[in-house]
Amino acid sequence: MTADFAHRTAEVPEPGRTGAGSVRHSLVELSVTAVLAEVVFGLVGGLPAVAAGAALIAVAALIAGRYVAGGGVLDIGLRRRPRLLDAHEPGLADWRWTVRQALVPDGDAQPLRGRLQRLYAARLAEAHHLSLTADRERAAELVGPGLWPWIDPAGDLPAPSVPPDVLHALVDRLESL
């Protein structure tokens, strides 16, 4: 077991964890708060307040449960959008410009390299459970020695522009992963 693997596994929480911040701990805290709120409602307002408090707590629990379970697919935008591959949603025109800039001899291949790295990182994580940066040796084996220098996050670009045949090979390899 390498030190890097030991470091990564030490950060993963145990499945049955019950400490502060776990789901079980949060549910216990919320349950205790609900019971205490019911006691206060009963002391202050009597039986009608207890009934109203129970209804309020039940409605809040159902709304929270629906939100957490993902039932609100059309939830009027209350959830944050998931961060897929970039801070902004790339458009087709943006990709065309990026590819064109990478292919011309006096262009800049770095933006295309960054996007290809994100695509390869997502594909390697999804299909092979690998990190492009942490599992570089295994990722290099899967990508191939001829294409790895073009997406290696720790290395420099082999050339200032990307040859068209290399770009085709990179895209084909990405699809085959």
Rounded CA separation 146/105 (Å): 20
pLDDT of residue 90: 54
pLDDT of residue 7: 47
pLDDT in tens, 113-133: 888 888 888 888 888 888 888
pLDDT in tens, 60-89: 888 877 776 665 555 555 555 555 554 555
Rounded CA separation 142/133 (Å): 14
pLDDT of the chain along its 177 residues, tens only? 444 444 444 444 555 555 676 777 878 888 899 899 999 989 998 889 889 989 999 998 888 777 766 655 555 555 555 555 545 555 566 777 778 778 888 877 888 888 888 888 888 888 888 888 888 888 888 888 888 888 888 888 888 888 888 888 888 888 887
Rounded CA separation 54/66 (Å): 18
Measured in degrees and rounded to the nearest 5, phi and psi for residue 149 equal -60, -25
Rounded CA separation 10/133 (Å): 18
pLDDT of residue 8: 47
Token pair of 134 as six digits: 């942490």
